[in-house]
Amino acid sequence: GESVGLHLPTLSVQEGDNSIINCAYSNSASDYFIWYKQESGKGPQFIIDIRSNMDKRQGQRVTVLLNKTVKHLSLQIAATQPGDSAVYFCAEMITGGGNKLTFGTGTQLKVEL
């Protein structure tokens, strides 16, 4: 029979290159956004977050950009390393609205040596 499954979007980059992972969010009322990294078989780990009153925020080797006009979020990883290989999720929230996060489907990042 035919097998049916969902395949995550995959981004393959060379070690040392910069990575850009994109996310389209759904609710224009969302005012808080967060990126998580999930390694295989583990729980998600917090990477960076941003509020809607900002359009850019930088962390260590990571930058998040927010474009509210087109409801788009991106995560930039500088000098990508093999340890960055994982699935990356964006999530959105309306603060004060039950504090519920709505997650995207994720992007698989593969770092090639």
Partner 1 sequence: DGGITQSPKYLFRKEGQNVTLSCEQNLNHDAMYWYRQDPGQGLRLIYYSQIVNDFQKGDIAEGYSVSREKKESFPLTVTSAQKNPTAFYLCASRKLTGGGEEQFFGPGTRLTVL
Query: Which residues of this protein are in contact with partner 1, per CB under 8 A?
Result: 5-8, 32, 34, 36, 41-46, 49, 89, 91, 93, 95, 98-106
For residues 47 and 90, what is the distance between their CA atoms, to the nearest angstrom? 10
Q: Taking the complex as a whole, how short is the minimal distance between the CB of residue 98 and partner 1, in angstroms?
A: 7
Q: In this complex, which beta carbon is closest to partner 1, that of residue 14 or of residue 51?
A: 51
Q: In this complex, which beta carbon is closest to partner 1, that of residue 12 or of residue 18?
A: 12
For residues 80 and 53, what is the distance between their CA atoms, to the nearest angstrom? 28
Q: Taking the complex as a whole, how short is the minimal distance between the CB of residue 44 and partner 1, in angstroms?
A: 5
Q: Taking the complex as a whole, how short is the minimal distance between the CB of residue 15 and partner 1, in angstroms?
A: 25
Tokens at 72, concatenated? 């788009």
For residues 110 and 15, what is the distance between their CA atoms, to the nearest angstrom? 9
Phi, psi (rounded to 5 degrees) for 59: -125, -160
Q: Taking the complex as a whole, how short is the minimal distance between the CB of residue 16 and partner 1, in angstroms?
A: 28
For residues 47 and 60, what is the distance between their CA atoms, to the nearest angstrom? 9
Q: In this complex, which beta carbon is closest to partner 1, that of residue 1 or of residue 5?
A: 5
Q: In this complex, which beta carbon is closest to partner 1, that of residue 86 or of residue 89?
A: 89
Contact 54, 64 (CB under 8 A): no
